[in-house]
């Protein structure tokens, strides 16, 4: 508003004749209203000026219409047009904090305005009101360029994180996570037996986090070399501050339900009726229909039986404080989260000590350590008959959950008697994790400019999985009860040693140099025990079983040695140059291909300091920056370059079988990243960052198909390449200041992925689901399906399109085509925060546009009679009845031999959505009350997650994995909580 | 301080780089150059060959069920179908379907394993000479079996063309780096199979290493009898079948023991080659038994005409459970009735009686012997059965009917129909499904898998796919 007034006044001023006069004024700080001494007041375009005195007052002879330039160190320069008034009260605002904030970057911290790379830093305040067990769920919508998809609502499950697109086909596309300087163990941590992946981030207490930095381009991430290709997420935990010890207690209580609920299965009467119609259409005689159609005397809503309202509670207590020499942060937390599916949940306890002590002027050392312990009850996933999500959709509604005598009913054919309600009580799927993450460091100042630092970190993750299938019904009947225990111990240690030199020469030449050496070693010890034939379902340990059914163990190791260096130069805080180099040696590759080098260069230009912009008053800050560099991806598994035989057994005797063809030429996937961007703040109100990125990944690992006559199906080679390019925008605005505050922050990412080369240009059909294709020129997640043309009104049969767009009536005559992709065209988030007195309201909308979801199981639930042993979707009721009907569902025929329910675009849906990810309303108790209670502060808040979803998609949940396929995974949750946070 | 730090730093770098810090080896895999160093490694490798045969796509399940479902012995149980084998039943397999792909991959994996052993054996110095040559015989027999199975599934029968010059499958006798072998003719495949088998017959020990779970000389001869039968070399088929029958003392299992046999590890009198699962690593819900049994998926069941073809006094009728008009197959009840844990019978004695009978019925003047072997088998199965007296074509028909009943659900039916130049005629057929496929129809053999065509530029597809 103020700039509009200024503009208006400027126009009036220009229209009147300039007249010399004496003006008086006072300059005060906006922060505390105190007068500012020594503020420079200069008439623009002249040498006429003065400075404020001890009381902040000044006097100056000026002509009306001239512009005063009011500037002071650390404050934003203001431009005031002289009007008819003779007295001026000038309020100076502190310089914009957004661009000057200090952010955590690779091996240190940087002032953001000096940094050439692309980094987004998220502070703890922005995320900790989100009710979730782990930090990865809190980042979506807050970081441009980061696509964080939560493919499972299982408490403690991981989100998939994709920074600037998908970077790999076979290897991992997940970023590198570095917690307090220690790269954590990633990849397969446990047995991989159940489809729930272990989420290392859920072991971290979100309230312990100080900030999360997402490193996106080469200048930011290349210093992590062979592991930086998919970006780096740096997590920094809270440290103590000197002063009175501050205790904080925080608790949240609430409950969760399904985030959206659009899917409806048939009721018993609808189901039986549909069966009758389908049998009639199949030409069954009436006596057979009477025998087979079933009765609808029992009606079970399996979804109601499987899903529930689930409780959520957390407790967190921390102490932070210290003196001049030693500072500490100590915290403990407990979380208990039920899953919205019966029998699932997470209980977690964490403890942390962060300690720093300055032993002498030169020597500082300390320890960051955290222990966490969690117990997770999970549900079987995907196509397993015991998957409750699958069961809720597929089990016929005309069978009861329990028998009249109160026992669970498992006497049914569909899903082989896997009653999900009974199984949630009588089977066990439990993951028990203990983790320690520690980092011991010592820093020594050799000279005021030169310091060395050594740090020794460990990450210990002990995973114990226990799976038990009861002997009486469900999956366990095949074995007479099956008990499985898996023990995985993952240990990684790291030594990181750096030397740091910072110096300013001749007032204008700033230099920072970093050199380092790092070695890290990973080891996984795995053991498994299985036993069968249990006497009862009451005892699930292996001791109770009659017969061993298999044991196994292995040790898997890898190691990494690195040398790295980084140099930064700036001239007069105006021109910035940087370069980095890293040389990595990795045990995963053969001796000849073990070492690789990665580098980056970056530059930026503080353009508003230049003469041609310096006087444009509405530009507070403006910086152009660009970078280019390389990085690698070595997350390919430990021994992929070796040709090996695997061990097995044949009828009780040892046996070996060929496992993998040797490939001594295997090497890292390489990333080349270009980035260009602009950071600016204008009118002291708007902060805008816009960036363009172009990321080429080459030497992509691909399984090159071999003729099976070689004895192998494929060999892994570095043959592919892919590009991810796009734009990222972040705009934040202080809409209202004063009594009512309102800030808006909006970020938006436009992204395009394209495969550039594949082995001999050959398409790769995704074998897991068979509905996607990797094809040169197309997006990585492209769907490759026959196009559905609807239902023939004449006879109710299915129709498809061939490649020329003609309607065909035979499935095999239809042609598979690329029909969209699971990759969104754009995504982002919008946050609004309002403040009024002690009230604060904030909400975050996240959105995704242009992605498609494939309902893999619709072939069963919308089967047009083919799979009527299973319940059907309510969509099936709108079926063809008589010639002329224009309806979406073909004529149902029992055991339908037509291919209407075989994969086609019929089951491909628009996955675009807007979701109210988070809403929080907080009330800070007044200071007067706090003083009476002798407390520092207290806040009560209400918080909700996933409260609203706007989408055309009609399945269980619109948020699916990054591959877009709905494979009966655990739906996301809507959570409502109230919280209390007190400090004293 | 400064000095200490730098010294420490340098020591650390030296330690890490000079030690074998970056050399890591797997603990649960053997690098290939270390796989075959001693004779015991050869035995381990041979065991691996049988293990590979037990893949779901091969003898573990699909190769047993495919010839039964793609013919008239089995059908889909519509009330319980999980969708599996539907395209087999409808003859709509495509080049991208799992069944041909899995069979092709497993078959050539077995051949690769056998070839590795054949290549490694000359370099082995421990073990006795007899042991080593017997191991060579075993590897040759394994290689022959896999080639024979591939050519049965992916090519038209031997006499589809007069000189068997129609395309078969690639013959792999060594593991080459030339990745693009083309298809040999069916005649060439049979020649290679019979060469391998006759060499194996010479050198393999009569008892085998661990018979019936590994090849023995008797098992090699039994396989030769079957190959000759498919080749319509009636003299040799009869000769080898009789050799095996005599080696086994010309006695068949009693009527009491026959149905029980299916739940045992193996039956010494009957079994010639059995593939054995360990109780540790059988296929559970993906197994043959789980697919067929009523308390498993039970979605593949016997046809009514097969059930009806069995006499009430026929003990084999006990191996089908007739529930509400649905015929569940009970030939795979699980070892000691552990559902899914079944050993797979590849070659058994009763088949030799049928081979002997069939071959002799084709040789002029041997019909008496043919009837002898047929009646011997029938008496062992059917209580108080009268002897067969038929001659000529009606004798041949009776032998084929007997063969259908005896070897039902064991992976023979489609191949038997094809080599007898009969098509598939289904009496008990599901609504909307094909009821006949005449002999010579393209869809009666499997398509060459698409991934093979993609990876191997010299590979050609079967007509009709």
CB contact under 8 A, B24 and A559: yes
CB within 8 Å of B240: residues ≥ 6 apart:
B221, B222, B224, B225, B228
Whole-model pTM?
A: 0.85
Residues in chain A closer than 8 A to B296 (CB atoms)? 416, 478
CB contact under 8 A, A706 and B179: yes
Tokens of A699: 């030497």
- In chain A, what percentage of residues exceed pLDDT 70? 97
Answer yes or no: is pLDDT of A207 > 80.
yes
Which of A416, A561, A708 has its CB closest to that of B104? A708
Answer yes or no: is pLDDT of B9 > 70.
no
- Write the pLDDT tens digit of every residue in A879-924: 999 999 999 999 999 988 888 998 999 999 999 999 999 999 999 9
pLDDT at A961: 85
Answer yes or no: is pLDDT of B395 > 80.
yes
- Write the pLDDT tens digit of every residue in B290-314: 999 998 889 999 999 999 999 999 9
Residues in chain B closer than 8 A to A480 (CB atoms)? 338
CB within 8 Å of A513: residues ≥ 6 apart:
A500, A501, A502, A565, A566, A567, A568
**Burial (CB count <10 Å: 0-12, 13-18, 19+), residue A828:** buried
pLDDT-derived band at A381 (thresholds 50, 70, 90) equals confident
Answer yes or no: is pLDDT of A11 > 50.
no
Tokens of A82: 């002289």
Instruction: Determine the distance in angstroms separating the CA of B362 from the nearest CA of chain A, rounded to an integer.
Output: 37
- Write the pLDDT tens digit of every residue in B180-194: 899 999 999 999 999
More confident residue, A101 or A531: A531
pLDDT at B1: 53
Answer yes or no: is pLDDT of A626 > 90.
yes
Residues of A (183-242) whose Cβ lies below 8 Å from B: none
pLDDT at A362: 94
Answer yes or no: is pLDDT of A6 > 60.
no
CB contact under 8 A, A645 and B280: no
CB contact under 8 A, B9 and A517: yes
Q: Which of B408, B406, B371, B396 is nearest to B386 (CA)?
A: B371
- DSSP of A150-178: ----STTPPPEEEESS---SSS--PPEEE
Q: How many CB pairs below 8 A link A and B? A: 223
Poorest-confidence range of A309-313, A412-416, A802-806? A412-416
Tokens of A712: 């192998």
Average pLDDT of the residues in B416-425: 96
pLDDT at A679: 93
Which of B27, B181, B431 has its CB closest to that of A707? B181
Give the dihedral sign, CA A112/A114/A115/A116: positive
> How far apart, in whole angstroms, are the C-alpha atoms of residue B435 and residue B437?
7
Q: Provide φ and ψ at A959, rounded to 5°.
A: -85, 110
> How far apart, in whole angstroms, are the C-alpha atoms of residue A458 and residue A521?
10
pLDDT-derived band at A113 (thresholds 50, 70, 90) equals confident
Neighbours of A335 (CB within 10 A): 25
Answer yes or no: is pLDDT of A247 > 90.
yes
Whole-complex ipTM: 0.89
Poorest-confidence range of A353-362, A430-439, B2-11, B303-312? B2-11
Instruction: Determine the distance in angstroms separating the CA of B433 from the nearest CA of chain A, rounded to an integer.
Output: 8
CB within 8 Å of A712: residues ≥ 6 apart:
A658, A660, A661, A706, B112
CB contact under 8 A, B210 and A653: yes
- Write the pLDDT tens digit of every residue in B91-110: 999 998 999 999 999 999 99
> How far apart, in whole angstroms, are the C-alpha atoms of residue A812 and residue B90?
13
- Write the pLDDT tens digit of every residue in B31-84: 988 999 999 999 999 999 999 999 999 999 999 999 999 999 999 998 888 789
Q: Is A650 on the interface with B (CB under 8 A)?
A: yes
Query: Which of A651, A772, A870 to mutate against chain B (most B CBs within 10 Å)?
Result: A651
| Mean residue pLDDT across chain B | 92
Average pLDDT of the residues in A430-451: 94
Residues of A (860-919) whose Cβ lies below 8 Å from B: 867, 869, 893-895, 897
> How far apart, in whole angstroms, are the C-alpha atoms of residue A583 and residue B241?
69
pLDDT at B340: 84
- Write the pLDDT tens digit of every residue in A634-648: 888 888 888 899 999
- CB-based contact B250:B350 (threshold 8 Å): no
Neighbours of B438 (CB within 10 A): 10
User: Which chain A residue lies closest to B50 (C-alpha atoms)?
Assistant: A650
- Parallel, antiparallel, or unpaired: how do β-strands A176-179 and A232-237 relate? parallel
Answer yes or no: is pLDDT of A5 > 60.
no
CB contact under 8 A, B21 and A283: no
Average pLDDT of the residues in B11-17: 63
Average pLDDT of the residues in A420-434: 94
Residues in chain A closer than 8 A to B2 (CB atoms)? 446
- Write the pLDDT tens digit of every residue in A932-943: 888 888 999 999
- In chain B, what percentage of residues exceed pLDDT 70? 95
Residues of A (499-518) whose Cβ lies below 8 Å from B: 517
Average pLDDT of the residues in A664-688: 92
pLDDT at B17: 58
> How far apart, in whole angstroms, are the C-alpha atoms of residue A431 and residue B215?
45
Answer yes or no: is pLDDT of A30 > 80.
no
- Write the pLDDT tens digit of every residue in A840-880: 999 999 999 999 999 999 999 999 999 999 999 999 999 99
**Burial (CB count <10 Å: 0-12, 13-18, 19+), residue A502:** middle
User: Which chain A residue lies closest to B22 (C-alpha atoms)?
Assistant: A587
pLDDT at A254: 95
Q: Is A662 on the interface with B (CB under 8 A)?
A: yes
> How far apart, in whole angstroms, are the C-alpha atoms of residue B463 and residue B150?
17
CB contact under 8 A, B30 and A517: no
User: Which chain B residue lies closest to A293 (C-alpha atoms)?
Assistant: B79
Residues in chain B closer than 8 A to A706 (CB atoms)? 179, 455
CB contact under 8 A, B48 and A497: no
Range list of β-strands (E), A572-668: 575-586, 595-606, 619-633, 644-650, 653-660
Which domains are seen in chain B, by residue range?
8-172+180-426 (1.25.40.390)
Which of A475, A549, A658 has its CB closest to that of B279? A549
Residues of A (748-807) whose Cβ lies below 8 Å from B: 762, 765, 770
């Amino acid at each position: 508003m103020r700039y509009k007034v200024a503009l208006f006044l400027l126009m009036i001023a220009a229209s009147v004749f300039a007249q010399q006069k004496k003006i008086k004024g006072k300059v005060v700080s906006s922060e505390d209203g105190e007068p500012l001494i020594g503020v420079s007041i200069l008439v623009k375009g002249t040498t006429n000026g003065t400075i404020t005195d001890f009381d902040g007052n000044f006097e100056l002879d000026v002509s009306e219409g001239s512009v005063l330039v009011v500037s002071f160190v650390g404050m934003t320069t203001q431009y005031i047009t002289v009007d008819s008034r003779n007295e001026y009260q000038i309020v100076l605002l502190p310089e914009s904090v957004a661009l000057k904030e200090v952010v955590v970057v690779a091996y240190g911290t940087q002032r953001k305005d000096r940094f050439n790379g692309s980094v987004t830093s998220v502070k703890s305040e922005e995320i900790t009101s989100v009710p979730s067990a782990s930090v990865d769920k809190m980042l979506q919508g807050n970081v441009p360029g980061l696509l964080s998809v939560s493919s499972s609502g299982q408490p403690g499950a991981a989100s998939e994180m994709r920074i600037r697109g998908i970077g790999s086909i076979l290897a991992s596309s997940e970023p590198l996570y570095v917690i307090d300087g220690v790269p954590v163990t990633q990849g397969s941590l446990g047995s991989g037996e159940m489809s729930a992946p272990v989420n290392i981030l859920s072991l971290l207490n979100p309230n312990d986090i100080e900030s999360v930095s997402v490193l996106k381009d080469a200048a930011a991430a290349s210093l992590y070399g062979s592991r930086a290709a998919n970006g780096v997420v740096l997590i920094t935990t809270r440290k103590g501050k000197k002063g009175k010890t501050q205790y904080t207690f925080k608790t949240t209580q609430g409950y969760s339900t399904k985030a959206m609920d659009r899917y409806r299965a048939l009721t018993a009467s609808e189901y039986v009726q549909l069966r009758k119609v389908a049998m009639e259409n199949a030409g069954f005689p009436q006596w057979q229909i009477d025998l087979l159609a079933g009765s609808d005397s029992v009606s079970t809503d399996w979804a109601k039986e499987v899903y529930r309202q689930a409780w959520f509670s957390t407790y967190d207590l921390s102490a932070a404080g210290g003196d001049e020499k030693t500072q500490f942060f100590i915290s403990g937390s407990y979380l208990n989260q039920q899953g919205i599916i019966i029998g699932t949940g997470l209980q977690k306890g964490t403890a942390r000590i962060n300690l720093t002590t300055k032993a002498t002027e030169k020597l500082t050392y300390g320890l960051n350590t955290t222990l966490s312990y969690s117990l997770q009850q999970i549900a079987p996933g995907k196509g397993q008959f015991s998957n409750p999500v699958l069961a809720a959709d597929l089990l016929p509604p005309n069978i009861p959950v329990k028998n009249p005598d109160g026992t669970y009913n498992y006497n049914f054919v569909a899903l082989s008697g896997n009653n999900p309600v009974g199984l949630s009580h009588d089977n066990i799927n439990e993951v028990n994790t203990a983790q320690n993450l520690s980092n011991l460091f010592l820093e020594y100042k050799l000279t005021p400019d030169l310091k060395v630092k050594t740090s020794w970190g460990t990450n210990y993750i002990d995973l114990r999985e226990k799976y038990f299938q009861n002997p009486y019904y469900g999956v366990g009947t095949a074995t007479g009860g099956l008990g499985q225990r898996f023990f995985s111990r993952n240990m990684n240690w790291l030594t990181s040693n750096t030397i740091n030199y910072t110096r300013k020469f001749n007032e204008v030449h700033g230099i920072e140099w970093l050199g380092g050496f790092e070695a890290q070693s990973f080891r996984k010890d795995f053991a498994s025990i299985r036993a069968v034939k249990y006497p009862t379902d009451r005892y699930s340990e292996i001791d109770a079983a009659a017969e061993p059914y298999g044991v196994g163990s292995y040790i898997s190791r890898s190691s990494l040695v690195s040398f790295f260096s980084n140099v930064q130069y700036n001239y007069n805080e105006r021109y910035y140059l940087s370069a980095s180099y890293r040389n990595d040696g990795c045990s995963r590759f053969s001796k000849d291909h073990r070492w690789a080098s990665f580098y980056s260069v970056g530059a930026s230009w503080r353009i508003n300091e230049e003469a041609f912009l310096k006087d444009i008053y509405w530009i507070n800050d403006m910086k152009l920056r660009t970078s280019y560099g390389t990085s690698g991806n070595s997350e390919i598994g430990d021994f992929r370059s070796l040709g090996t035989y695997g061990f097995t057994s044949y009828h009780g005797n040892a046996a070996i079988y060929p496992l993998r063809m040797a490939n001594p030429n295997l090497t890292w996937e390489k990333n080349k990243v270009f980035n260009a961007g602009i950071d600016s703040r204008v009118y002291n109100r708007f902060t805008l960052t816009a960036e363009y990125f172009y990321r080429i990944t080459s030497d992509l690992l691909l399984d090159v198909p071999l003729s099976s006559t070689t004895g192998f199906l494929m060999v892994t080679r570095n043959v592919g390449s892919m590009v991810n390019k796009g734009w990222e925008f972040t705009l934040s605005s202080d809409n209202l200041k004063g009594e009512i505050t309102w800030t808006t922050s909006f970020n938006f990412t436009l992204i395009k992925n394209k495969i550039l080369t594949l082995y001999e240009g050959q398409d790769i059909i995704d074998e897991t689901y068979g509905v996607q294709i990797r094809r040169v020129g197309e997006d990585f997640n492209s769907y490759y399906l026959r196009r559905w043309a609807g239902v023939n009104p004449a006879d109710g049969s299915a129709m498809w399109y061939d490649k020329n767009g003609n309607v065909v009536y035979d499935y095999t005559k239809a042609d598979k085509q690329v029909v969209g992709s699971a990759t969104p065209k754009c995504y982002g988030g919008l946050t609004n925060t309002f403040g009024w007195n002690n009230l604060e309201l904030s909400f975050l909308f996240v959105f995704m546009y242009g992605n498609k979801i494939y309902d893999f199981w619709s072939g069963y639930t919308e089967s047009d009679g083919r799979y009527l042993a299973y319940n059907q979707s309510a969509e099936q009721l709108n079926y063809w009845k008589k010639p002329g009907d224009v309806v979406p569902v073909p004529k149902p025929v029992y055991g339908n031999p037509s291919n209407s329910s075989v994969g086609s675009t019929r089951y491909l849906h628009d996955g675009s959505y807007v979701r109210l990810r988070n809403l929080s309303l907080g009330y800070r108790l007044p200071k007067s009350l706090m003083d009476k209670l002798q407390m520092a502060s207290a806040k009560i808040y209400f918080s909700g997650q996933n409260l609203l979803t706007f989408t055309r998609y009609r399945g269980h949940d619109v948020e699916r994995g990054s591959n877009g396929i709905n494979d009966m995974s655990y739906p996301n949750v809507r959570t409502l909580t109230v919280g209390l946070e007190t400090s004293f | 301080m400064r000095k200490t730090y730098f010294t420490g730093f340098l020591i650390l770098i030296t330690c890490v780089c000079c030690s074998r810090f970056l050399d890591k080896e797997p603990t649960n895999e053997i690098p290939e150059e270390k796989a075959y160093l001693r004779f015991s490694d050869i035995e381990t490798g041979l065991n691996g060959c049988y293990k590979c045969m037990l893949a779901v796509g091969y003898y573990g399940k699909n190769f047993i069920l495919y010839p039964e479902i793609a013919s008239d012995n089995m059908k889909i149980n519509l009330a319980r179908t999980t969708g599996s084998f539907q395209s087999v039943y409808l003859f709509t397999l495509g080049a991208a379907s799992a069944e041909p792909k899995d069979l092709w991959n497993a078959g050539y994996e077995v051949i690769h394993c056998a070839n590795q052993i054949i290549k490694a054996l000359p370099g082995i110095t421990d073990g006795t000479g007899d042991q080593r040559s017997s191991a060579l015989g075993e590897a040759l027999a394994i290689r022959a079996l896999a080639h024979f199975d591939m050519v049965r599934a992916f090519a038209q029968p031997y006499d589809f063309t007069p000189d068997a010059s129609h395309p078969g499958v690639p013959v792999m006798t060594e593991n080459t780096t030339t990745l693009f072998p083309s298809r040999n003719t069916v005649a060439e495949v049979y020649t290679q199979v019979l060469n391998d088998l006759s060499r194996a017959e010479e050198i393999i020990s009569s008892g085998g290493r661990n018979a019936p779970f590994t090849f023995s000389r008797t098992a090699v001869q039994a396989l030769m009898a079957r190959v000759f039968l498919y080749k319509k070399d009636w003299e040799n088929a009869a000769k080898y079948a009789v050799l095996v029958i005599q080696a086994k003392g010309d006695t068949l299992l009693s009527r009491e023991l026959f149905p029980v046999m299916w739940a045992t590890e193996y039956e010494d009198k009957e079994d010639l080659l059995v593939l054995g699962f360990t109780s540790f690593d059988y296929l559970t819900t993906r197994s043959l038994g789980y697919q067929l049994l009523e308390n498993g998926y039970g979605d593949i069941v016997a046809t009514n005409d097969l059930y009806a073809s069995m006499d009430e006094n026929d003990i084999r009728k006990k191996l089908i459970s007739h529930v509400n008009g649905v015929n569940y197959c009970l030939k795979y009840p699980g070892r000691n009735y552990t559902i899914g844990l079944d050993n797979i019978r590849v070659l058994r004695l009763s088949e030799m009686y049928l081979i002997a009978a069939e071959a002799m019925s084709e040789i002029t003047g041997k019909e008496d012997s043919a009837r002898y072997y047929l009646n011997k088998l029938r008496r062992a199965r059917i209580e108080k059965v009268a002897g067969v007296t038929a001659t000529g074509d009606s004798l041949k028909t009776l032998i084929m009917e007997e063969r259908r009943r005896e070897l039902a659900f064991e992976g023979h039916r489609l191949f038997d129909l094809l080599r007898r130049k009969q098509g598939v005629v289904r009496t008990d057929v599901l609504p909307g499904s094909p009821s006949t496929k005449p002999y010579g129809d393209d869809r009666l053999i499997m398509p060459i898998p698409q991934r093979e065509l993609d990876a191997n530029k010299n590979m050609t597809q079967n007509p009709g796919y």
